[in-house]
Amino acid sequence: MSFNTLGLSEKVLAAVEAAGYTEPTAIQKGAIPQVLERRDVLGIAQTGTGKTASFTLPMLTLLEKGRARARMPRTLILEPTRELAAQVEENFEKYGTNHKLNVALLIGGVSFAEQDKKLDRGTDVLIATPGRLLDHFERGKLLLQGVEILVIDEADRMLDMGFIPDIERICKLIPFTRQTLFFSATMPPEIQRLTEAFLQNPAQIEVAPTSSTSANVTQLLKASQSKDYDKRAALRELLEGSEDLQNAIVFCNRKRDISTLFRSLEKHGYNVGCLHGDMDQRTRMLMLDNFRKGNIKLLVASDVAARGLDIPEVSHVFNYDVPTHAEDYVHRIGRTGRAGRKGVAYTLVTSGDQKYLSAIETLITKSIDWTGDPLDFEAAAEERKAARRAKTAKPEQAKPNTTKRRSTKNDKQDMADSIIETEDLPTQRRRPARNASSAKPQKRVTSDRLEPAFGPGTHIPAFLLREPRPKKAS
For residue range 355-376, list pLDDT tens digits in order.
Answer: 999 999 998 889 999 998 898 8
Runs of H (alpha helix) within 308-423:
326-333, 354-364, 377-392, 409-417
| pLDDT confidence band for 257 (50 / 70 / 90) | very high
Are residue 193 and residue 292 in the same domain, yes or no?
A: no
Instruction: Tell me the Ramachandran region of residue 422: left when phi exceeds 0, alpha when psi lies from -120 to 50, beta otherwise.
Output: beta
What distance in Å separates the CA atoms of residue 4 and residue 14, rounded to the nearest whole number?
10
Classify residue 436: in a domain, yes or no: no
Q: Which DSSP string corresponds to 250-291?
A: EE-SSHHHHHHHHHHHHHTT--EEEE-TTS-HHHHHHHHHHH
Determine contact, residues 348/323, Cβ cutoff 8 Å. no
Classify residue 468: in a domain, yes or no: no
At residue 353, the pLDDT reads 92
At residue 230, the pLDDT reads 92
Are residue 176 and residue 224 in the same domain, yes or no?
A: no
**Average predicted confidence (pLDDT) for the chain:** 84
Model confidence at 473: pLDDT above 80: no
Are residue 234 and residue 147 in the same domain, yes or no?
A: no
Classify residue 459: in a domain, yes or no: no
Are residue 247 and residue 323 in the same domain, yes or no?
A: yes
Average pLDDT value for residue range 374-402: 71
> Of 162, 180, 206, which residue sits at a domain end?
206
Instruction: Measure Cα distances from 67 to 3, 133, 202, 347 in Å.
Output: 26, 21, 27, 50
Share of the chain above pLDDT 90, in %: 49
In angstroms, how far is CA 247 from the centroid of its own chain?
22
Are residue 250 and residue 195 in the same domain, yes or no?
A: no
Are residue 84 and residue 195 in the same domain, yes or no?
A: yes
Range of the domain at 268: 217-392
How many CA atoms within 13 Å lie on the side-chain side of 222?
22
For residue range 12-27, list pLDDT tens digits in order.
Answer: 999 999 988 889 988 9
Buried b or exposed e, range 405-426, using 16+ CB within 10 angstroms: eeeeeeeeebbeebebebeebe
Average pLDDT value for residue range 405-432: 47
Are residue 72 and residue 179 in the same domain, yes or no?
A: yes
For residue range 266-322, list pLDDT tens digits in order.
Answer: 999 999 999 887 888 788 888 988 998 899 999 999 887 766 566 778 999 999 999
Average pLDDT value for residue range 192-217: 83
Determine contact, residues 299/249, Cβ cutoff 8 Å. yes
Classify residue 344: in a domain, yes or no: yes
Classify residue 254: in a domain, yes or no: yes
pTM of the predicted model over 0.85:
no
Classify residue 253: in a domain, yes or no: yes
Are residue 305 and residue 161 in the same domain, yes or no?
A: no
> Of 158, 179, 206, which residue sits at a domain end?
206
What distance in Å separates the CA atoms of residue 348 and residue 128, rounded to the nearest whole number?
35
At residue 209, the pLDDT reads 64
At residue 215, the pLDDT reads 83
Share of the chain above pLDDT 70, in %: 83
Model confidence at 411: pLDDT above 50: yes
> How many domains does the chain divide into?
2
